[in-house]
Structure 1
């Protein structure tokens, strides 16, 4: 048990404290608090991890968690249920600013924007684990222990009912999707593969003024309002397009952003490696003559795209959580697009990519951050690296 003064928030859902010369990453605390914290993980070295179990001096933004499993020793899904929503968003903005300053040398003073609907009842996609006796549950933080929860207050209403009402294969995992039509799809993930157990397996969504059909397992934004917010920010960041402009939508998934740009450009190429997502993109974009779908890994197809279509005028990239990486960011920057729209859910990965693109002559001309994952430490960012000399973002 440690008695510590809690310092600044850090990337990952915890705050930083110090005790006898060592860093302590404290969960369930807020900056400025004094707490008793129980060490939960210590491998020696310069830091350890701890949970705040007693608050001796509370910060103004502290509230009672909405879920009884959200406290010390409980579910690892939520990081900030002990903070009110404004405080959560302020913490996330601080993390983005710190990562940009530390990793890219950029000063950013923006905010983390709230999405409609409040901090509860928003999660449309989640993964549950199964206990040894077949009950679905959620894992404890940084643990394989499965907690047999009876509900999840951040999940959309009624989404878990058909999952919690039945037994599952012990030690399996369950991938759950609740689509815009209100249908729940639940797939059991086993060592031998996937098995659909609940729902049709085909998700129906609505975003950016269009209806979408895609496999339930294909990527889609988790928050019901996030798809519209990201598309709007991406379109704003792309700026003016003309009939001769070529746009690449890298990691384009089912074609969400490509569709929003296809009536404004000469050609929009959706590049995606997942076969189910590319199949869905082909169907969803079939009515848009300017849209083309290319299946393949982004790093493998860049040269062939240049040979077939020339260098792009604008690039949209929505890579996995790890980001583009220095090498791929450098290759993309060398293509000379006047503007890049970078969608990211990890601020550290985003900052590293922005720094790599700066080396190719790009400056950060705009950034919007959305609280697309309330109660957690995650957020969705849309950054606009712009080539020096390009027209300003409108």
Structure 2
């Protein structure tokens, strides 16, 4: 076997094989014998068809099978003897192949790069957050806002109110499709109506009517209305203001606190915020670490892997990837190769206990965690993705033990607001 590497494609391996005619003949005859055992031809009992008849009937198929067996055998032996790790299936071309001749074929394959991953010599920053009472209070306020209701009030409408209206619209004095509605609720400030209509509601009271001129924008999605001026007669029927639920036992029970203890709710919110802070902190630390890993390891990336990742990224999108997206694909593939090679050389594994822990954490957000975990385990692809995720975490932990990590105390709002940096100081 002749092996070569093109100067302009350092990850390609070109192999040229010559299989002696005697070996081809042996495989060909063996294939014919196999076919003779199972041949069913008119006038002959199964397994009793004369070999010349078998050869006339199945000779071409037997020769192609012999070629396939020899090509696969020779190619596999070459990979083992030269310790090659192919990225994808080879491109095979048969240059010569016929009864009584040597079989000559070539195989072109792309291989994974051979390199020793370098551990970056960097100083990283781990953001440390201690959840404060203000953080807990702020979160509880958001939770109350998510569960707010509306109460009718006897006053003029203002921002954030929910106003119930009837309206009738006309263009050039004529009604138009979709221009009239009864009992239509409008949340002032939500932007569901055109600005002129929504702004006209501010200051109106229940029972009041107003004529409002509303220009439809030129880019309005309904072509028949785009660029037209409409006149609306608007009547306010009810005004309701938002009311937050009280932070009391009833509110606590609505969030799963069985005994309604507000203190228990506050402690649970604090614990959840602390977990989220630790997750974000590690995420930022990992991002900084990955930047340093990429900078320390400049390697060739197989084109086949780039094409596979690019196709994956294009799923559900129209058009080609932008230059920025292509660069991100290259970075993601290169980082994956580096981490994978680190795991291979350091013999790192995805520990089963860690996989169970990761799966349990994923299941926490579901109503029935055990049911979710059982469903998740049924799919091999999902489990392989989980294993890859846990293995990557193991590699990250291995790297973090070999770089300098300094802690920095920051507030929770700074952490979630992205003002804490990437975790890398260079």
TM-score tier after normalising by the smaller chain length: under 0.3
| Structure of higher CA gyration radius | 2
Of structures 1 and 2, the one with the larger relative CO (CA 8 A, separation 6+) is 2
Normalising by structure 2, we get a TM-score of 0.17
